[in-house]
Amino acid sequence: MVLIPIPIVQAALEAGYRHIDGAWIYNNEAAVGSALQAMAHHVPRESVFITSKLWNTFHNPEDIEPTLDETLRMLQTEYLDLYLIHWPIAQTPTGGGTNVVDWDLTERPIKTWLKLEELVRAGKIRNIGVSKSVFFSFHFSSNFTDLYAFRSASTSAGFKTSQHLHLSPSNPQSTKSN
């Protein structure tokens, strides 16, 4: 669990940082929200790009909006610039701090994705995506209505361009540029 003191976030904003990367599981959203409010007179919300992530146990469509609303409340903002599916693996809590994989929702994430799209249309999120998708990618069917997770993704430039996808390495320092 990551706890970030508010003064550290304020110092980062004062130094010119304009991308805040948070997540429910990081436990940093309340501190970030407090720092953003404290700095609002120097750094307007519109100048900060805020990313957060949907945790594995909240992939069910009925869980997504309440989880997002809690994130927005803690961040003290009305929208996220980017909301990522933290891991492309849906889980169900079993109690006692353990979770089991929800294979149906993991292998067919269309319900999760459609709910995220709905929240984009509602103005609560500006952009959506998937984090930590080393083994997974999204494939849109020819009519762009079905979304499937699959392994060994198509990563050709033509595929990415035609689907309006942007693939970013999670550790660009460790990858060789083409």
Q: Where are the domains of the chain?
A: 6-135
Q: How far apart are CA 74 and CA 36, in angstroms?
A: 11
Q: What integer is the mean pLDDT of 86-115?
A: 90
CA distances to 54, 78, 84, 125 from 72, rounded to whole Å, are 12, 6, 14, 10
88 vs 165, residue with greater confidence: 88
The pTM is what? Answer: 0.76
What's the rounded Cα separation, in Å, for the pair 91 and 70?
A: 19
26 annotated active-site? yes
Q: In one letter, which amino acid is 81?
A: D
State how far the Cα of 39 lies from the Cα of 33, in Å rounded to an integer.
10
Q: Say which of 26, 79, 83, 148 is annotated catalytic.
A: 26
Would you state the pLDDT for residue 161? 46
Q: Which of 25-29, 75-79, 155-159 has the lowest mean pLDDT?
A: 155-159
Summarised one tens digit per residue, pLDDT across range 46-95 is: 999 999 999 999 999 999 999 999 999 999 999 999 999 988 889 998 88
Q: What is the 3-state secondary structure (H, E, C) of the chain?
A: CCCCCHHHHHHHHHCCCCEEECCHHHCCHHHHHHHHHHCCCCCCHHHCEEEEEECHHHCCHHHHHHHHHHHHHHHCCCCECEEEECCCCCEEEEECCEEEECHHHHHCCHHHHHHHHHHHHCCCECCEEECCCCCCEEEECCCCCCEEEECCCCCCHHHHHHCCCCCCCCCHHHCCCC
Place of tokens 């949907």: 54
CATH class of 6-135: alpha beta
